[in-house]
Amino acid sequence: MTQLLDTSAVSPVVLEAGRLFEAAGHDLSLVGGPVRDLFLGRTATDLDFTTDATPDQTLAVIKGWADAVWEIGRDFGTIGLRRGDMQLEITTYRAEAYDPASRKPVVAFGRELSEDLVRRDFTVNAMALRLPSLELVDPHGGVRDLHAGVLRTPGTPESSFDDDPLRMMRAARFASQLRMEVAPEVLEAMKNMAGRLEIVSAERIRDELVKLINGALPRRGVEIMVDTGLADIVLPEVPALRLETDSAHHHKDVYQHSLTVMEQAAGYESPDGPVPGPDFGLRFAALMHDVGKPATRRFGSDGAVSFRHHEVVGAKLVRKRMKALRFDNDTIKTVTRLVELHMRFYGYGEAGWTDSAVRRYVRDAGDQLERLHLLTRSDVTTRNKRKASRLARSYDDLERRIAELAEREELEAVRPELDGQEIMRILDIGPSRTVGQAYAFLLELRLDEGAIGAEAAEARLREWWAGQQAESPDDTQDGTPGGTAAEQSSGRNAGRGEGP
């Protein structure tokens, strides 16, 4: 819900900047998102301005006033600065055009505020406040569209998207972030021009995707991407989840299920909880957790459908996609680990887990355990209330057992009771592959039997070593566990890998 413009919320720093430029004989206006946010009752600490001053003239005006200055965007007419705790970007009026075959803009400086506003992405971002008078300039009906909750472009959407194809991603992002609907003519242009997104750098697309997933309505943003064809370029694994059905083979809509899981995962985030939101790793893993299903779908003789080991295949697909989008290694590791492990819990209620299995669950989840808790709970979308209740009770029981074991054994730091130096001393060997084998043996012992004490661990190590020496060297196996967490545990998992 938008409100009347509250100019009392304008930062004193904004007014100071306006008076500085006015005294120097230049125009300065607050523009774009910060103006939009004033109507939404939101406070921005990163402020965008536009001016008729050239970059050199801007530098002259702010000299001695700015606490810090950077010129990284100078070629595009932008001077950045810091004043107190506020970040400001001041850009010369632009009449900007893009080479249709290039990822980079061709910049031409403009002379009028109106020239600058018409080249902006959407009408809600094409508003300005002249400074220091605070006169609102809104030639394209941004206030009207903001109140209506509709995204439109100042000019034709075709011209806007041809100038910068990333604006199509921004439309989906703003739908999620600002809870807005995209105008029909804008959606139509996105459908017709989705292929233009291929010339945009992976890094720019990634940044928009993160903002979309972290928005208030991520489901709406993803649906727009899929419906317009943008997802075919950015995340083709998601539209692939719309599996075909027929009268003989009925199974749930994996695409809609995945959207619901993402919504539910976001709903579990809590400012005071272990996973405060918005949490991209959790939300994106929820969206992508079943992307291995299309490749693993099989129909049995009775018509039942299965997706055996789809979590293993899905983790590989997610890793490949995130690398293509230039995500950092830590984020890739977070999401792929959650996808790998999202099926591990199923079967717990029926088969029951030993303490050893619970320890392995915690060990394999590592620092993603809290996110895994929320993802697993979010993955229950069945309408069968009895089944949903049973699964919830089972997971409650698992979390209780994890807490009890953690309290009893400091489960978060499960390690063998002898380290590498002690292994070498006891076995009288130097650094070698054998030390790794012995360490792996002791880790398995720790997971299977819990804490048995250093003395008992040493005795078991000596027994193991005697057995190793009795074997032929050709029979010795590398002690380092191989494969993904899901692959290592797949033999211990119950069920067909379908999930609720």
Q: Alpha-carbon distance 10 to 38, whole Å? A: 8
Q: What is the CATH number of the domain that holds 197?
A: 1.10.110.30
Same domain, 436 and 467: yes
Q: Are residues 97 and 216 in the same domain?
A: no
99, 133, 148 - which closes a domain: 148
Classify residue 54 as exposed, middle or buried by CB count within 10 Å of its CB (0-12, 13-18, 19+): middle
**Is position 279 within any domain?**
yes
| Domain limits for position 214 | 149-234
Q: Residue 307's beta-bridge partner residues?
A: 297
CA atoms within 13 A on the CB side of 40: 20
Per residue of the chain (500 residues), what is the pLDDT tens digit?
445 566 677 889 999 999 999 999 999 999 999 999 999 888 777 799 999 999 999 999 999 999 999 988 888 889 999 999 899 999 999 875 556 665 565 666 778 899 899 989 999 999 999 999 999 999 999 999 999 999 999 999 999 999 899 999 999 999 999 999 999 999 999 999 999 999 999 999 999 999 999 999 999 999 999 999 999 999 999 999 987 544 334 456 899 999 999 999 999 999 988 999 899 999 999 999 999 999 888 888 777 877 888 999 999 999 999 999 999 999 999 999 999 999 988 866 566 788 888 888 888 999 999 999 999 999 988 888 888 888 888 888 888 888 888 877 665 567 888 988 999 999 988 888 899 999 999 988 888 888 888 999 999 999 999 888 877 555 444 444 344 444 444 433 433 344 44
First to last CA, the chain: 37
351 in the same domain as 312: yes
* φ/ψ of residue 92, rounded to 5: -65, 140
**Closest of 496, 83, 500 to residue 251, by C-alpha:** 500
* Contacts of 46 by beta carbon, 8 Å cutoff, 6+ apart: 34, 87, 89
Cβ atoms 290, 344 nearer than 8 A: no
In a domain, 167, yes or no: yes
The whole-number pLDDT of residue 489 equals 43
Measured at the alpha carbon of residue 173, what is the angle toward residues 120 and 334, in degrees to the nearest 5?
135
Any domain includes 36: yes
DSSP string, 29-47: EEESHHHHHHHHT---SEE
Tell me the pTM: 0.78
Beta bridge partners of 89: 48, 80
Q: Do 361 and 466 fall into the same domain?
A: no
Same structural domain, 141 and 91? yes
Only one residue has tokens 């995500």, namely 327
Hey, what's the torsion of the CAs at 495, 496, 499, 500, to 10 degrees? -80
DSSP letters spanning 306-334? EETTHHHHHHHHHHHHHHHTT--HHHHHH
451 is a domain residue: yes
In a domain, residue 68? The reply is: yes
- The residue out of 234, 257, 284 marking a domain boundary is 234
Q: Which region, left, alpha or beta, applies to residue 21 given φ > 0 means left and ψ of -120 to 50 means alpha?
A: alpha
Q: Would strands 28-31 and 78-83 be described as parallel, antiparallel, or unpaired? A: unpaired
Give residue for tokens 């985030």. Answer: 269
Q: Tell me the C-alpha distance between 257 and 290, whole Å.
A: 9
Same domain, 377 and 428: no
Instruction: Find tokens 């230039």 and name the residue.
Output: 326
How many structural domains are present in the chain?
Answer: 4
For residue 143, what are its two tokens? 């206030």
Which of 148, 164, 197 delimits the end of a domain?
A: 148
Integer-rounded Cα radius of gyration of the chain: 29
392 and 426 both lie in a single domain: no
70 Cα distance to chain centroid: 29
Whether the CB-CB separation of 108 and 97 falls below 8 Å is answered with yes
Residue 132's SS3 state is coil
- Measured on CA atoms in the order 322, 324, 326, 328, is the torsion positive or negative? positive
Q: How many Cα atoms are found within 13 Å in the side-chain-facing hemisphere of 82?
A: 5
373: in domain: yes
Domain membership of residue 123 (yes or no) is yes
Residue 7 and residue 100 share a domain: yes
Closest to 327 (Cα-Cα) out of 155, 206, 157: 206
Residues 43 and 79 in one domain: yes
378 and 261 in contact (C-beta within 8 Å)? yes
CATH no. for residue 133?
A: 3.30.460.10
96 domain residue, yes or no: yes
Q: Give Cα separations from 301 to 246, 248, 249, 304, 383 (angstroms).
A: 15, 11, 11, 7, 26
At 158 the pLDDT is: 95
Give the side-chain half-sphere CA count within 13 A for 218: 29
Does 210 share its domain with 125?
no
Beta-bridge partners for 299? 305
Dist CA 122 CA 107 (whole Å): 19
Does 440 lie in the same domain as 390?
A: no
Whole-angstrom distance, CA of residue 285 vs CA of residue 275: 14
Per DSSP, helices labelled H in 149-299 are 157-163, 166-177, 184-193, 202-213, 218-228, 230-234, 254-268, 280-288, 293-296
Task: Say if residue 128 is in the same domain as residue 186.
Answer: no
Q: Which of 123, 110, 121 is nearest to 50 (CA)?
A: 110
Single-letter amino acid code for the residue at 266: A
